[in-house]
Structure 1
Amino acid sequence: LAALGNECLGAIRIVDNEAAIPVTSYKLLQDAEIKALAQEGATESVQLITKSHLSLTGASGKVGLYYEPESKKWFFPEGNAPSTHIVKQSHIRLKKIVANEQLCMLTAKNLGIEIPESFIVNVGSDNKEDILFATRRYDRKFDDDSAVLNGLRVPYRLHQEDFAQALGIAAGDKYEKNGAAYLKRSMNLLRSFSSDPIADQLKLWDICIFDYLVGNTDNHIKNLSLLYSKDLKSIRLAPAYDIVSTMVYDNSTEDMAMSIGGIYNINDIDRKAFEREALNVGFGKNMALKHFDKMVAGFCDAIDKASFTLMSQGFEYVDVIKQEILQKGGIKSYL
């Protein structure tokens, strides 16, 4: 933690008091350095990730960088400088995962789900080793009184807790087992602490529906978070993130990370299961199923629009991913 805790999620920083404090600045990254980051497993990539002191979990290598949208330049945060984006490498074991995630995120946005801004960084061809996935950090915020460093505005760090932390569940238990009712516990968490509990419960309900339809069986509780306001007086459900259709990969599990109506296997979940789950979490059946039916009805148009957007950017192969989602995700039962 002393080595990698300088730029954690949220506002907490974990530093070694005996270590030398580096000068706080933003260093411009050259194109060659960005391309090195895309080369997963390469020495330069590992060094950059380590130097960023970014403490994040997940399957792909990640680094926290600062992005200046007007110049489209990337900067490396040094010292106490906060990053603005999390940049993830493509993954050698999962084909086209960057395009997969961006397709899922845009589809979610088209269905009205709040997501952070994200985009694909192409540093060469569209091969998996030459692209990165950049997500704007929702736990970093610019204000009118933001400081300026090296000519760049410095964002504030907003605090967040993922649901495993907030519920006191160990990271190793982030996948629900034996009917532990993680969704019900998550809804109760929002009822108790959200500044707008009704709105946030419905947002979470929509996220769960979408995970099922798109075939995201990696929907564990560490991919859900509470986001605090700058003054720590307000708590809201954070935007949805880390949404990937895992079902398009042959070696992925068919069991959802949170049960729906007592069922884990995505192929056995149906509208009736969501009806049972609605009653389990304390929702009115009619309201819960109205959200479900609306999401199902709009899914194909939403993924078509997302696919068209990415294809127009040169990622023609997303149409294949789209077809696999329609064939293997939960949406297949309603086509």
Structure 2
Amino acid sequence: MDLNVLLSNRLAGYLGQDAHGHPTFRYADSWRQTPGAYPLSLALPLTENSAPAATLSAVLWGLLPDNEALLQRWASRFQVSSRNPVALLSHVGEDCAGAVQFVRRERLAAVLAGEDDRQEALSLHEVAQRLQRIRVDQIAARQPDDVGQFSLAGAQPKIALMQRDDGGWAIPAGRIPTTHILKPPSGDYDGFVENEVFCLRLASQLGMSAASTEMICMEDAQAIAVTRFDRVRTAQGWQRVHQEDFCQALGVMPHIKYQNQGGPGPADLARVLWEHSSKPRADVERLLQALQFNYLIGGTDAHAKNYSLLIGAQGNVRLAPLYDISSALPYAHLQQRKIKMAMKIGSHYRWWDVRLADWEATADGMTLDPQKALSGLFDMATQLPGIARALLAELQAEGMRHPVLERLVDGISASCQRCLRQFEQSAT
């Protein structure tokens, strides 16, 4: 089984399998010679003639859902193995994270020529039905007779759609990309939609780069609508922008995304940025700021797959906007003294145990100035409660009044006060 790999609507390489079923990949010579060519992954340099199977597997699995039940359902629908990423991508790989498309040989000419470019409009009722269904059955995100195909990484239920100029929704096909990700509420956490919208807007109001989100309601369905930062509108229409998460960039399988399971930590992510970013110091400092923000808001799921890189022409690499941020603080059943961070801060995973010395050690491990890191943490802890309270009033005025928001703001204020007390104690 051979798949053509497209980047920015151009043939960039070939994906296949060896005699043992291991994935293989090689870049097309024409892509290597293209001005502004960029790699499929930082773990798969353009200069390499072949990719190690383990590294390539990590890159491919990073494009697929982190949900075994969904993979099994896909395997049954498409009559392939759920453990074969090449086979799965042959059915769902024409719209993935970033600029990559995996296209079967018989479809290549039609896709490149735009012959399959189309949009299948969905009524609000149809979108609402899909959002309701995927809460209990993720495979319902796509129907057997849908045009186009997509794959979204991660464990949460979600669907990828294109928002039309009239504000309606559609399923695109061919070269036309999806533009938004819609995520329904989590069954485990009341107010999850409001929580994530609040946290991402809070990051933006603090001056951090974060994905644009809003809460949408259609009939009885509610969802977070996330504008994809790996899509851009041009005079020629919507275009894909390449990206990958840090697990992919490091060749780490997605099931070990948490540091305490052997996954990457802050120093590993910083090393990637120091080696590859077009503005390394600025991006490493942004990464540290993101870690501190997640700490202060109780964002415990900020693992390596929830940080990404934007990869542009001629090796231009930058830290991507923040996404998938939510807080554990509003939920009383998640005991604050026991919750753990996705990445270790200094010597600790437990959120409650993190001290100023741990931030100094983390900054040092990221090759940053520890004292400057503490100064940034102090400033953020000082500013955050007031900004959060103002944002709460703003969202309530917009009609978002879930009680989780009051608990969230109170939790953030208490977290910041606890952090500031550490500064007071260190000064005495």
Q: Same fold (TM over 0.5)?
A: yes
Please name the residue that 2:162 is paired with. Answer: 66
Contact 2:180 2:228 survives alignment (8 Å):
yes
Match of 1:10 among 66, 78, 98: 98
Please name the residue that 1:234 is paired with. Answer: 316
Please name the residue that 2:275 is paired with. Answer: 192
Please name the residue that 1:320 is paired with. Answer: 406
State how far apart, in whole Å, the 2-side matches of 1:234 and 1:86 are: 25
Structure having the higher Rg: 2
Matched, 1:309 2:394: yes
Residue 118 and residue 280 in structure 1: after superposition, are their counterparts in 2 closer, same or farther (change >3 A)? same
Aligned residue for 2:371, secondary structure, equals: helix
How many residue pairs end up in the alignment? 321
TM-score by length of 1: 0.87
Residue 328 and residue 14 in structure 1: after superposition, are their counterparts in 2 closer, same or farther (change >3 A)? farther
Please name the residue that 2:132 is paired with. Answer: 39
Q: Report the Cα offset of residue 181 of structure 1.
A: 6.2
State how far apart, in whole Å, the 2-side matches of 1:282 and 1:303 are: 30
State how far apart, in whole Å, the 1-side matches of 2:122 and 2:137 are: 13
Aligned residue for 2:377, secondary structure, equals: helix
State how far apart, in whole Å, the 1-side matches of 2:238 and 2:219 are: 30
Q: Report the Cα offset of residue 43 of structure 1.
A: 8.7
Q: Report the Cα offset of residue 61 of structure 1.
A: 1.7
Aligned residue for 1:135, secondary structure, equals: strand
Please name the residue that 2:359 is paired with. Answer: 274
Please name the residue that 1:57 is paired with. Answer: 153
State how far apart, in whole Å, the 2-side matches of 1:321 and 1:4 are: 40
Matches within 5 A, 1:135-284: 135-144=226-235, 146=236, 154-177=237-260, 182-229=265-312, 231-249=313-331, 250-251=333-334, 254-284=339-369
* Paired amino acid for 2:120: K
Match of 1:106 among 201, 204, 211: 201
Contact 1:179 1:262 survives alignment (8 Å):
no
Q: Report the Cα offset of residue 45 of structure 1.
A: 7.6
Residue 199 and residue 133 in structure 1: after superposition, are their counterparts in 2 closer, same or farther (change >3 A)? same
Q: Deviations over 1:265-322 (max 9, x none)?
A: 0010122211221122221122211211111111112211222222112121253342
Question: Greater CA deviation, 202-211 or 323-332?
Answer: 323-332
Gaps of 5+ in 2: 1-88, 422-428
- The Cα RMSD (Å) is 2.6
* Paired amino acid for 1:93: D
Q: Name segments (4+ residues, structure 1) moved above 6 Å.
A: 19-22, 42-45, 178-181
Aligned residue for 2:181, secondary structure, equals: strand
Residue 4 and residue 328 in structure 1: after superposition, are their counterparts in 2 closer, same or farther (change >3 A)? farther
* Paired amino acid for 1:118: T
Q: Deviations over 1:134-191 (max 9, x none)?
A: 11111111223x2xxxxxxx21111111100111211111100278761111111101
Matched, 1:97 2:192: yes
Contact 1:247 1:328 survives alignment (8 Å):
no
* Paired amino acid for 2:248: Q
Residue 178 and residue 241 in structure 1: after superposition, are their counterparts in 2 closer, same or farther (change >3 A)? closer
Residue 310 and residue 124 in structure 1: after superposition, are their counterparts in 2 closer, same or farther (change >3 A)? farther
Gaps of 5+ in 1: 147-153
State how far apart, in whole Å, the 2-side matches of 1:2 and 1:329 are: 47
